[in-house]
């Protein structure tokens, strides 16, 4: 099969689209960065893509809330196209601000638009955090996390705290394997109980760093896999004795491309 085509959606304030497109291209995909204004004029253009990616950045300056303005634009002008990706055998990925946009759109929780079971909000410490974090695949159903057990990625956000509506909602999402990417200790230890800072950098419930929809085809995460594609991006690369061939974020993009192989 020909290489899958990836639509990387840009908006005012987006600043990780070039790196994200490059990450997909590195593992064999064909990418195109399209501005939301251009796509709104002709949504049919988006139908030729197999993967939709919302990259990181600060869309519309996060002036109301992180991702909310872009989510509203998509809902009004690109709702039909979004439904095509959600309902067809296609993939959707959101990274950092892109994850925030997807949460505002509610596409992780079909049928729960009026009362979503979870949201993203301000970090518990009330400030922007920029650091590297250890992450664990906690029985995720996500296609993007196949064969990923533990991963080390950078994160940079002020509104990345995952909060569930109540215990019942959180347990339902966990049992559906939707809370699959968790902050963990360096030794891989994970827990449903919230870890202390900085192991859990924002106070997220269940230590959640990324979630998926019930199908596993839609995935969003706060850390940045496109920022760890090569070994020299690791913060301690000069002190590592056994240098790996690739950065740890690469596998997420490889899994997306392999889905269409």
- The residue ranges of every structural domain in the chain are 5-258
Cα–Cα–Cα angle for 33, 36, 38, rounded to 5 degrees: 80
- Length reported for the chain: 261
Q: Which residues are catalytic?
A: 96, 224, 226
Class level of CATH domain 5-258? alpha beta
d(CA 253, CA 251): 5
Q: Give the tokens for residue 107.
A: 């596409």
pLDDT, one tens digit per residue, over 57-101 is 999 999 888 999 999 999 999 999 999 999 999 999 999 999 999
* Tens of pLDDT, residues 203-240: 999 999 999 999 999 999 999 999 999 999 999 999 98
**If you search the block for the tokens 């966990």, which residue do you land on?**
174
CA 169 – CA 116 distance, rounded (Å):
9
Q: Which residue has the higher pLDDT, 1 or 167?
A: 167
Strands (DSSP E) along 64-121, which ranges?
Answer: 91-95, 118-121
Residue 52 has pLDDT above 80, yes or no: yes
Residue 250, CB half-sphere, CA atoms under 13 Å: how many?
14
User: What is the band of 1 on the pLDDT scale with cuts at 50, 70, 90?
Assistant: low
95-154 pLDDT per residue, tens: 999 999 999 999 999 988 778 999 999 999 999 999 999 999 999 999 999 999 999 999
CA trace torsion 55, 60, 61, 67 (10° rounding)? -60
Q: How far apart are the first and last CA of the chain?
A: 6
Going by C-beta distance under 8 Å and a sequence separation of 6 or more, which residues neighbour residue 40?
Answer: 73, 77, 78
- Report the DSSP beta bridge partners of residue 144: none
Tokens standing for 95? 């990274």
């Amino acid at each position: 099969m020909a290489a899958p085509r990836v639509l990387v959606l840009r908006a005012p304030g987006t600043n990780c689209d070039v790196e994200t497109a490059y990450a997909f291209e590195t593992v064999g995909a064909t990418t195109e960065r399209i501005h939301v204004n251009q796509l709104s004029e002709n949504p049919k253009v988006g139908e030729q893509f197999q993967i939709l990616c919302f990259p990181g950045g600060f869309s519309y300056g996060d002036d109301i809330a992180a991702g909310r303005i872009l989510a509203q634009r998509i809902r009004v002008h690109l709702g039909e196209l979004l439904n095509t990706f959600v309902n067809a055998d296609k993939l959707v990925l959101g990274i950092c601000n892109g994850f925030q946009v997807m949460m505002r759109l509610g596409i992780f929780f079909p049928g729960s638009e009026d009362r979503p079971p979870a949201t993203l909000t301000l970090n518990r410490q009330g400030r922007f955090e920029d650091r590297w974090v250890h992450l664990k695949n906690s029985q995720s159903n996500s296609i993007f996390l196949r064969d990923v057990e533990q991963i080390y990625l950078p994160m940079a956000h002020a509104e990345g705290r995952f909060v569930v509506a109540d215990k019942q909602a959180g347990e339902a999402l966990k049992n559906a394997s939707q809370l699959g990417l968790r902050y963990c200790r360096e030794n891989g230890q994970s827990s449903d109980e919230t870890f202390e800072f900085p192991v859990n950098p924002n106070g997220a419930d269940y230590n959640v760093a990324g979630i998926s929809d019930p199908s596993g085809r839609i995935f969003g995460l706060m850390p940045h896999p496109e920022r760890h594609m090569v070994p020299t991006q690791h913060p301690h690369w000069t002190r590592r004795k056994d240098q790996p061939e690739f950065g740890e974020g690469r596998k997420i993009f490889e899994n997306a491309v392999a889905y269409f192989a």
